[in-house]
Amino acid sequence: MKVAALFILGCLVWRRMATGTFPEQEKNPSFWREWAQRTLKNALTLQDLNKNVAKNIILFLGDGMGVPTVTAARILKGQISGQSGEETQLEMDKFPYVALSKTYNTNAQVPDSAGTATAYLCGVKANEGTVGLSAAAVRSQCNTTRGNEVTSILKWAKDAGKSVGIVTTTSVNHATPSAAYAHCVERTWYADVDMSKDALLWGCKDIARQLFENIPDIDVIMGGGRKYMYPRNTPDVEYPEDERHNGTRNDSRNLVGEWIDRMKDKKGYYVWNRKDLLSLNPNNVDYLLGLFEPENQTYELERNNEMDPSLTEMVDVAIKILRKNERGFYLLVEGGRIDHGHHEGKAKKALHEAVEMDRAITQADHLTSVYDTLTVVTADHSHVFTFGGYTLRGNSIFGLAPKKSTIDEKHYTSILYGNGPGFKLVNGTRENVSTVDYENNNYQAQAAVPLDLETHGGEDVAIFSKGPMAHLLHGVQEQHYIPHVMAYAACIGQNKDHCRTKSGSPSLNRISPTLALLLTVKWLLC
């Protein structure tokens, strides 16, 4: 009886929202004026710029998280909690500084995730399909690799004595994470089986191998990608009966086994499921390798809570391990499957991935301090994803526009794609979406142009930042500028002169003893 009553009440609330009604207080002009005054007072405090040296630097990368995706995820976050959604704040919305990033690759107006990763991790623009290489390298041509390698901010941080980590919901050797450690002319050379004979003869290495060899002491690595680490036909530990998930390596190397042997006396742990991850005491772990799926991790909407950790849980463990280093840390966190959801035309999956990444950002905030941690949230590129149709306040973000098309007299969903697999004709005309389950997790939103996979978008993406030197991320910037700001803030890499006193020792802006005590208490409680 109680369940039925709650269901009816929920329906009534949702129906009220979908009719464009809104809270009574919003009718009063003083509501908006007082809100604006609170915002203004907060903005005035930004005149006191945080010029501390960043002990820690964190980059949250929402793969494919263009501005329309950010807005839609904000609404979804609010609607999940029972609100209309539009007035909700994402954690990244609270960051004091926002800029725009120009995402083009050196040879592409609309970029891919490899060339963009090289920009925001290595600080140079690059060709599409290449990672950790300058634009002098040519995609798939192994002999253009040598001499064109560029290093990433992860390596700059490691060389400076900081702990470093990579956390992703894709494979750990996918485009975004690979630019942090690899130098490869082809982003799809996940394992040696994926490489051409010529590439192997020229001496190029697959990306999985580079993960363990180029920077062999990365402190934390978490994501998917088990199959690329094991010899060909090795059954997967989680799916031993499914040959699709078997190991793929032709060189017979067991990269996970090699890592375990190398780290056995260094407090190193390998885990492949959520239970083992959460059973670790971070205080007793110095190195962690977590590979939770044979390829990419599952979508948040489909995640097996018994076997697979959430992005938030991975970030929590990663920071608790990395922050033990007195010199601080660098952490790359990728919400990688936002991109995949959009490519499949499945907006519900993409947006839930974005909301989960925002939860991870919130958790990182609980574990760090804005006084000594620079946190940046951005995207590599956008998608041809949009929502519109004059929807009313509180309309389900996955719902229908309120009016039918005046051309074919059929309903359409607010969310649409410019191209992709959602293009469909029924008897020569557009499908009547009001007859299908458009709120289903796997519903593919209608697209204007038929493609097997939806494409990236070419518009600028947002950069949200907070912490030391966050104000340097302002205006409209080239994407490769991002790691240079982060390095400047942390006194690593190329720009170090501003960080030293006359004696040559590193210098931080002074923090009051009271503030230092509060920061210590926060750290201990978290």
**Rounded to a whole number, what is the largest CA-CA distance in the chain?**
79
Q: For residue 479, give the nearest of 62, 58, 99, 178 by alpha carbon.
A: 99
Catalytic residue among 84, 101, 113, 163: 113
Q: How far apart are CA 446 and CA 437, in angstroms?
A: 13
Q: How far apart are CA 40 and CA 29, in angstroms?
A: 17
Contact partners, residue 169, CB within 8 Å, separation at least 6 = 223, 224, 296, 297, 311, 334, 335, 336, 337, 353
Tokens at residue 203, please? 């001496």
Q: Is 369 a catalytic residue?
A: no
Is residue 58 helix, strand or coil?
strand
pLDDT of residue 394: 95
The answer on whether 343 is annotated among ligand-binding residues is yes
Tokens 């490489």: give the residue. Answer: 195
pLDDT of residue 11: 44
Q: How far apart are CA 443 and CA 399, in angstroms?
A: 12
pLDDT of residue 525: 53
**Structural domains in the chain, sorted by start:** 49-384+463-490 (3.40.720.10), 389-454 (no CATH)
Burial 206-225 (b: 16+ CB within 10 A, else e): bbbbbbbebbeebbbbbbbb
The answer on whether 176 is annotated among ligand-binding residues is yes
Tokens at residue 350, please? 């993409």
Phi, psi for 423 (deg, rounded to 5): -65, 130
Contact partners, residue 118, CB within 8 Å, separation at least 6 = 124, 125, 126, 130, 131, 132, 133, 150, 179
pLDDT of residue 507: 47
pLDDT of residue 40: 83
Burial 408-446 (b: 16+ CB within 10 A, else e): eeebbbbbbbebbbbbeeeeeeebebeeeebeeeebbbb
Q: How far apart are CA 128 and CA 187, in angstroms?
A: 9
Is residue 362 helix, strand or coil?
helix
- Which neighbouring-strand residues pair with 465? 97, 376
Is residue 63 helix, strand or coil?
coil
Residue 34, burial from CB neighbour count under 10 angstroms (0-12, 13-18, 19+): exposed
- pLDDT mean values, one per 10 residues, the chain (526 residues): 41 47 86 85 84 97 98 98 96 97 98 98 97 98 98 98 98 98 98 97 97 97 98 98 98 98 96 98 98 98 96 98 98 98 98 98 98 98 97 97 96 98 95 95 98 98 98 95 96 86 44 48 50
The answer on whether 339 is annotated among ligand-binding residues is yes
The answer on whether 174 is annotated among ligand-binding residues is yes
The answer on whether 358 is annotated among ligand-binding residues is no
Contact partners, residue 245, CB within 8 Å, separation at least 6 = 226, 227, 236, 238, 239, 294, 295
The answer on whether 383 is annotated among ligand-binding residues is no
Would you say 58 and 376 are in contact if contact means Cβ atoms under 8 Å apart?
A: yes
Question: Is the dihedral angle over the CA atoms 188, 191, 194, 197 positive or is it negative?
Answer: positive
Alpha helices in 81-164 (DSSP H): 113-122, 153-159
Q: For residue 422, give the nearest of 351, 352, 343 by alpha carbon.
A: 343
Tokens 């089986």: give the residue. Answer: 193
CA distances from 395 to 69, 73, 400 (A): 16, 14, 8
Phi, psi for 412 (deg, rounded to 5): -145, 150
